Structure 1
Amino acid sequence: MKTHINLFIAFFRSGILGFGGGPSAIPLVHKEVVTIFKWMNDDEFSDVLALGNTLPGPINTKMAGYIGYRVAGVAGMINAVLSSIVPSILMMIVLLTTLTSFKDQPWVAGMTKGVIPIVVVMMAVLTWDFFKKSNQGLGWKVSVTILLISFLLIEMVHVHPGIIIAILLCYALFKPEKAKNAGNKEKEGAQ
């Protein structure tokens, strides 16, 4: 029972505080799942995030479903998914029924603008953590190369990020030793 309560708390908090949608909720889910409740480590979380990004739908809900299932089976999956979507449903009902009359007020616009920098910082911290983890596995050169190529493909060529993630997952699946050896050689050279 305690596990289900913890699942509910973890995904309710990330759902209610994830202002701005899925990307802003990812650092919150990471904090709950990896740091607070220790249901998985950083590498496992990165894998869940990568796979979740290749699938359609909201990332927070997909991650809640998988993590809930992993922690407490089907009941845990249902618990985690419901606790991650209930805050949004409740807030939408409250906001749409009450704030529509205040939408033109400066304080409402100020609330929205005030949250954006916090979301940016949370995303930057999570990005930096993932980049450090990729350095441990692949090395700086390979990590920076993948980062730059991915950025160019997404921003200049307008390739969907899910396609790039799928390509990199296939690459890792078929070339794990080559990537691992490149990272190890670069680490040895740096020492």
Structure 2
Amino acid sequence: MILLKIFWSFFQIGLFSIGGGMAAIPLIQNQVVTIHNWLTLSEFTDLITIAEMTPGPIAINSATFVGIRIAGIPGAIVATIGCIFPSCIIVSLLAWIYFKYKQLTVLQGILSGLRPTIVALIASAGLTIFSLAIWGDNGFSLDFQLINYVSVIMFGLALFILRKLKPNPIYVMLGSGIIGGVIYMIL
């Protein structure tokens, strides 16, 4: 029964995550944290961090991780298949429709209308992760005692370095991870 729940949850994620892996993050969070309580919000943030760092699409990495956490290897396989199955069907269908009707202005209008929605989904995911990093599980608060100042300083420095020096973002992520690990081991 749990394998069916895992498959159905990730099938829905795969079905409705239009716009790539980052757009799938709010959907994964809803299924995994809110609906099924398979992970806490803090564990979910760790999941996203690991899924972004490992090779492959974030939604598939997340599905595999959650599946293995809930039901072992069979869970990982079922979750991964559930996540990619809708995409295979949808992409095949859309490719056929696009090549058949690509000259229609209605189709071009639909594609243009989807762009702002994808940006909003990605922004929502980013703000959720930012809020968790700065205020923790408490959520947004104006109470200065709840702010994680190490995270604020790390974020500010990383943003400054990325904007002014323009290094490879991977180096900034690695450096931030190492510095953050050292700081949190000391504290």
Matched, 1:173 2:172: no
Matched, 1:21 2:27: no
Partner amino acid, structure 2, of 1:60: A
**Secondary structure of 2:19's aligned partner:** coil
Matched, 1:139 2:173: no
1:131/1:143 contact within 8 Å kept: no
Deviation of 1:126 (Å) = 2.2
Partner amino acid, structure 2, of 1:166: L
- Give the distance between the partners of 1:53 and 1:153, measured in 2 at CA: 20
Deviation of 1:79 (Å) = 0.3
Deviation readout 1:124-170 (Å, 9 max, x if unpaired): 22222222211235835433433333334445544444443333333
**Secondary structure of 1:126's aligned partner:** helix
TM-score (norm 2): 0.83
Unmatched 5+ residue regions in structure 2?
137-145
TM-score (norm 1): 0.82
- Give the distance between the partners of 2:42 and 2:34, measured in 1 at CA: 13
2:158/2:176 contact within 8 Å kept: no
- Give the distance between the partners of 1:163 and 1:18, measured in 2 at CA: 29
Q: What residue in structure 1 maps to residue 93 of structure 2?
A: 94
Partner amino acid, structure 1, of 2:80: V
1:4/1:72 contact within 8 Å kept: yes
Query: CA separation of 1:31/1:176 partners in 2, compared to 1, >3 Å: closer, same or farther?
Result: same
Q: What residue in structure 2 maps to residue 103 of structure 1?
A: 102
- Give the distance between the partners of 1:160 and 1:26, measured in 2 at CA: 24
Partner amino acid, structure 1, of 2:182: F
Q: Quote the sequence identity (%).
A: 28
Query: CA separation of 1:22/1:165 partners in 2, compared to 1, >3 Å: closer, same or farther?
Result: same
Query: CA separation of 1:166/1:122 partners in 2, compared to 1, >3 Å: closer, same or farther?
Result: same
Query: What is the Cα-based RMSD across aligned positions, in Å?
Result: 2.2
Q: What residue in structure 2 maps to residue 64 of structure 1?
A: 63
1:54/1:162 contact within 8 Å kept: no
Unmatched 5+ residue regions in structure 1?
182-191
